[in-house]
């Protein structure tokens, strides 16, 4: 047996497996949270005062804590993010709907749509188990 070739093959197989492992691990706080902050926080944060006005989270949905993201809103409790099931997760479904749909998020005229690349990233995050890592967010 040619030891050199065998070692090279093992090394190649090892680097391929490490690469795909890195690829699968999405860091919620670094990669997903900024998307939600930009596109969703305006309407889906904990109740707070803004210019003397009380702002409540729309649809009863908060996206500023891990517990709240899991809990979901009024219409789709427990179906906002369903780990492993992007097609059952309203967080992703609403942002993929066409502008004309009344459940499209952000609602028509109320902010830019989430880019296809960012939607793909969120899909992958849900598919790979929707882990929040150490992030807990606002209590």
Q: Name the site residues for ligand HEC (rule: CB under 6 A).
A: 39-40, 42-44, 58-59, 61, 72-76, 80, 90-91, 94-95, 105-107, 110-111, 114
Phi, psi of 137 (to 5 degrees): 80, -160
Task: Decide whether 39 or 64 has the Cβ nearer to ligand HEC.
Answer: 39
Q: What is the smallest separation between the CB atom of 134 and ligand HEC, expressed in angstroms?
A: 22
Q: What is the smallest separation between the CB atom of 34 and ligand HEC, expressed in angstroms?
A: 12
Distance CA 23, CA 42 (A): 30
Q: How far is CA 112 from the centre of its chain?
A: 17
Q: What is the smallest separation between the CB atom of 63 and ligand HEC, expressed in angstroms?
A: 7
SS3 percent helix, strand, coil of the chain, rounded to 5, is: 45, 5, 45
Residue number of the CB atom closest to ligand HEC: 73
């Amino acid at each position: 047996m040619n030891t050199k070739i065998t070692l090279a093959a093992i090394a190649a197989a090892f680097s391929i497996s490490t690469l795909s492992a890195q690829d699968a691990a999405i860091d919620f706080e670094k990669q997903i949270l900024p998307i939600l902050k930009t596109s969703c926080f305006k309407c889906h944060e904990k109740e707070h005062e803004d210019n003397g006005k009380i702002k409540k989270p729309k649809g009863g949905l908060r996206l500023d804590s891990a517990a709240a993201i899991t809990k979901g809103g009024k219409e789709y409790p427990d179906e906002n993010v369903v780990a492993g099931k992007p097609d059952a997760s309203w967080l992703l479904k609403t942002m993929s709907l066409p502008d004309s749909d009344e459940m499209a998020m952000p609602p028509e005229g109320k902010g830019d749509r989430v880019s296809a690349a960012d939607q793909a990233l969120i899909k992958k995050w849900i598919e790979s188990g929707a882990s929040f890592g150490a992030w807990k967010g606002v209590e």
